[in-house]
Homo-oligomer: A and B are copies of this chain.
């Protein structure tokens, strides 16, 4: 046996076990923790992240990795070692004072953002955001990648993706979405449409029963997963056979069900990762975008598909003792409305939101946008892309918390995932042209197996865009998504 390889695997295992431990603390905080437990919880989480950081950046580990890079290894070990080398080198390039400064700025930024949002006043948040953007620009210099300075930040979440590749694709998508929106908005059906059923509420216990039934149906049984309630839906890995999902019933049943379908997409990916890479970086998704492609695939391509509702409407009516019609539900689920809030928006507005943020992030990192101009620029872009202007900063530039935590480069992965999802569904339909017949019967076996074979089984062996290219014939390409949206909404809004 290779002693260095054992050491590296042991380090990874310990880091992953500590990460899972932290994940349980986070899950607990958002589900069952008594309110005043937060102080101890924060101290425990800070200690765990200190221990993890210490392990990841240890000289012992890095030396072993450097030696292993010169050795002959199996293909998968080679990929693992190279990935670790890259990640750890990045971490080690950041001076400790910088890491502490950034961590403090993120923590202060979070509180300032909360207050600013509450008071609907960007100025409260402004100095903190300024600090954070300056630090992120500094961070870029510690780990300079070729091309646009934003590439360094993007690479943290979407390895291999660059501004040069992403921007033209987002531009195409943006123009098509704006065009499609205009078409929809000019239809009679759009002008006459009334409140959506999305927010309708029924009996909470029964609503949860339907959500849990769905979770079990796609293979996430109760021996390996749970579904609980939390303020914001999320999925987290507590262990190899322990995945926790949450949803929220406060915004109505159909929203909760949609969120559950989304989270189950993440959870299925986690559950189906290859066991042979247990406790290594290879048993993880290669990027946030690919992870999001799995949740979006189920949420949009399956869960907003008419065949899906052919199966689910009778079940829902039976359990909730309601009498919802297929057509009304399907249209309600897919209502297009001028969405000022990203998390509440429909399939068309959603990516526009992301592209707007991406453009602003680019400007902030390259220095062409000044923080003080942010609300103005935000509102101008909203007017231009959405034809609406937020009534205040809380529902405008302050709506998302990501920047307050220093997460720049993260937003694009939401749209990347959405685009990949459409490409994947396209590839699936090419292989199984009659797949919607399965969906109508609530039989997701072929879909699950196909995703497992094509994506889940690969772990982190390939970069996301390479893997998508292998499956779909091309890397990130908005064409399939654009066609899907046009076909679907033409039929719904009859233009």
Q: A-side interface residues toward B, CB under 8 Å?
A: 13-14, 17-18, 20-21, 24-25, 28, 32-37, 39-41, 43-44, 47-48, 51, 222-226, 228, 238-243
Contacts of A222 in B (CB 8 A): 34-35
Please measure, in the bound complex, the distance between the C-alpha atom of A48 and the C-alpha atom of B18, giving whole angstroms: 8
Please measure, in the bound complex, the distance between the C-alpha atom of A40 and the C-alpha atom of B37, giving whole angstroms: 25
Nearest to A19 among chain B residues (CB) is B44
Contact of A242 among B24, B34, B225 (CB under 8 A): B34
Nearest to A243 among chain B residues (CB) is B34
Q: How far is the CB of A450 from chain B (nearest CB, A)?
A: 25
Interface of A is mostly: helix
Q: How far is the CB of A51 from chain B (nearest CB, A)?
A: 7
Contact of A44 among B41, B47, B51, B239 (CB under 8 A): B239
Please measure, in the bound complex, the distance between the C-alpha atom of A37 and the C-alpha atom of B37, giving whole angstroms: 24
Q: Contact at B226–A47, with CB atoms within 8 Å?
A: no
Please measure, in the bound complex, the distance between the C-alpha atom of A44 and the C-alpha atom of B226, giving whole angstroms: 19
Please measure, in the bound complex, the distance between the C-alpha atom of A47 and the C-alpha atom of B51, giving whole angstroms: 12
Please measure, in the bound complex, the distance between the C-alpha atom of A241 and the C-alpha atom of B35, giving whole angstroms: 9
Contacts of A37 in B (CB 8 A): 224, 238-239, 241-242
Nearest to A279 among chain B residues (CB) is B43
Contact of A239 among B14, B39, B225, B226 (CB under 8 A): B39
Please measure, in the bound complex, the distance between the C-alpha atom of A248 and the C-alpha atom of B33, giving whole angstroms: 20
Contacts of A25 in B (CB 8 A): 21, 24
Nearest to A42 among chain B residues (CB) is B239
Please measure, in the bound complex, the distance between the C-alpha atom of A163 and the C-alpha atom of B388, giving whole angstroms: 82
Q: List 15 A-B contacts (CB under 8 A).
A: A17-B44, A18-B44, A21-B21, A21-B47, A24-B25, A33-B242, A34-B226, A35-B222, A35-B223, A37-B238, A37-B241, A40-B240, A40-B241, A40-B242, A51-B51
Enumerate the 5 nearest inter-chain pairs by beta-carbon distance, A residue then B residue, closest first.
A40-B239, A37-B242, A36-B241, A35-B223, A37-B239
Q: How far is the CB of A182 from chain B (nearest CB, A)?
A: 48
Contacts of A238 in B (CB 8 A): 28, 33, 37, 40
Q: Contact at A34–B225, with CB atoms within 8 Å?
A: yes
Q: Contact at A242–B36, with CB atoms within 8 Å?
A: yes
Please measure, in the bound complex, the distance between the C-alpha atom of A243 and the C-alpha atom of B36, giving whole angstroms: 10
Specify which of A25, A40, A47 lies most central, judged by the most chain B CB atoms within 10 Å of its CB.
A40
Given A24-B24, A28-B24, A47-B14, verify A34-B223 contact (CB < 8 Å). Answer: yes
Q: How far is the CB of A190 from chain B (nearest CB, A)?
A: 45
Q: Contact at A241–B21, with CB atoms within 8 Å?
A: no
Q: Contact at A36–B226, with CB atoms within 8 Å?
A: no
Nearest to A36 among chain B residues (CB) is B241
Please measure, in the bound complex, the distance between the C-alpha atom of A239 and the C-alpha atom of B33, giving whole angstroms: 10
Please measure, in the bound complex, the distance between the C-alpha atom of A238 and the C-alpha atom of B243, giving whole angstroms: 21
Please measure, in the bound complex, the distance between the C-alpha atom of A43 and the C-alpha atom of B12, giving whole angstroms: 13
Q: Contact at B34–A224, with CB atoms within 8 Å?
A: yes
Please measure, in the bound complex, the distance between the C-alpha atom of A223 and the C-alpha atom of B47, giving whole angstroms: 24
Please measure, in the bound complex, the distance between the C-alpha atom of A69 and the C-alpha atom of B311, giving whole angstroms: 74
Q: How far is the CB of A34 from chain B (nearest CB, A)?
A: 5
Contacts of A224 in B (CB 8 A): 34-37
Nearest to A46 among chain B residues (CB) is B17
Contacts of A41 in B (CB 8 A): 239, 242
Q: In the complex, given contacts A34-B224, A44-B239, what are 14 additional A-B residue pairs having Cβ atoms less than 8 angstroms apart?
A: A17-B47, A21-B25, A21-B44, A24-B25, A32-B32, A32-B226, A32-B228, A33-B238, A34-B222, A34-B226, A34-B241, A34-B242, A37-B241, A40-B238
